[in-house]
């Protein structure tokens, strides 16, 4: 049995899933499973990393798993999901926009990630591209279009830390950033990067190295052009939009 996810291949039954939906929050994982899946089975709550097995329409088995926060935790969970037979992973996450046209409540579909993560560097060299599967990505885009959800397709900055790494000063316990991080958000904005988050880079690098398909859709819950803090009042609606896009993209 893989140590961290808390379940093994035998727990998946005869009709084994090949697709996993991955979220950082266990609460979001449970919401996805209990809202969209049938015949839901709790596989594990070990270490707070809740995992569920269920079916979409046409008896399509789906695994919904929790990655935890950040690249190191994500790398462990993804490794073990591949060990038990998963071949496609869609991350459903949250992010902060760094472009004025990407608003709170929108979704960002990542076609690639600028990968500034130590864990990802253990998977492959810095130069190794962190790119999403084009077919899964197109499916997400087409689904967002059909649903009328405001989406943005582009490059994501995937970094290791929520505060220093995303140039947060006012909301952080540490207002003193290292010199290479001062102005980093404006640099990324000028590179047409859309958003900050913390997991897509390692996921997309692992997809290339491990030879599985991966994509990422994130709800925008902060607009970094205006403020550092998360807009909590708009989070649930934005996350629901990202979930719906992911679910319906694989249910077609």
> pLDDT of 162-217, one tens digit each?
999 999 999 999 999 999 999 999 999 999 999 999 999 999 999 999 999 999 99
Is 189 catalytic? The answer is no
CB 131 within 8 A of CB 111: yes
Is 168 catalytic? The answer is yes
Q: What tokens were used for 157?
A: 């900055």
Q: Which residues pair with 107 in a beta bridge?
A: 151, 219
Q: Count the residues in the chain.
A: 252
Q: What is the mean pLDDT of residues 10-38?
A: 95
Average pLDDT in the chain: 96
Residue 110 neighbours by CB under 8 Å, 6+ apart = 132, 137, 154, 155, 156, 200, 204, 215, 216, 217, 218
CA Rg value for the chain: 17
The pLDDT value given to residue 252: 67
Catalytic one of 28, 91, 152, 224: 224
Q: What is the mean pLDDT of residues 106-126?
A: 97
Q: Model pTM? A: 0.95
Locus of tokens 């009709």: 15
Query: Which helix (DSSP H) or strand (DSSP E) does residue 174 occupy?
Result: none
Is 176 catalytic? The answer is no
Catalytic one of 168, 197, 199, 241: 168
Is 91 catalytic? The answer is no
CB 97 within 8 A of CB 194: yes
The rounded Cα 236 to chain-centroid distance in angstroms is: 16
Could you give all domains of the chain from N- to C-terminal order, each with its CATH number? 9-250 (3.40.50.1580)
The pLDDT value given to residue 59: 81
Locus of tokens 């270490």: 47
The pLDDT value given to residue 167: 95
Distance CA 19, CA 251 (A): 11
Catalytic one of 25, 80, 167, 199: 80
The pLDDT value given to residue 93: 97
Q: What tokens were used for 104?
A: 């709170």
């Amino acid at each position: 049995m893989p140590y961290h996810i808390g379940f093994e291949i035998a727990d998946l039954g005869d009709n084994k899933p090949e697709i996993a939906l991955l979220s950082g929050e266990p609460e979001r994982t449970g919401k996805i499973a209990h809202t969209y899946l049938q015949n839901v089975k709790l596989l594990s709550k070990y270490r707070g990393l809740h995992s569920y097995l269920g079916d979409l329409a046409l008896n399509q088995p789906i695994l919904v798993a929790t990655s935890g926060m950040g690249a190191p935790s994500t790398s462990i969970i993804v490794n073990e999901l591949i060990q038990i037979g998963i071949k496609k992973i869609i991350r459903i996450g949250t992010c902060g926009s760094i472009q004025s046209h990407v608003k709170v409540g929108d979704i960002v579909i990542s076609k690639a990630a600028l990968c500034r993560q130590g864990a990802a560097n253990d998977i492959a060299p810095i130069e190794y591209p962190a790119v999403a599967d084009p077919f899964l990505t197109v499916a997400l885009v087409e689904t967002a279009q059909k649903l009328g959800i405001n989406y943005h397709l582009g490059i994501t900055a995937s970094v290791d830390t929520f505060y220093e790494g995303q140039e947060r000063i006012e909301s952080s316990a540490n207002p003193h950033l290292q010199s290479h991080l001062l102005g980093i958000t404006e640099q990324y904005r000028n590179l047409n990067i859309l958003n900050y988050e913390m997991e897509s880079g390692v996921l997309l690098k692992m997809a290339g190295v491990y030879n599985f398909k991966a994509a990422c859709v994130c709800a925008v819950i902060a607009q970094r052009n205006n403020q550092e803090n998360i807009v909590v009042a708009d989070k649930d609606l934005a996350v629901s939009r990202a979930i719906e896009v992911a679910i319906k993209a694989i249910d077609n």
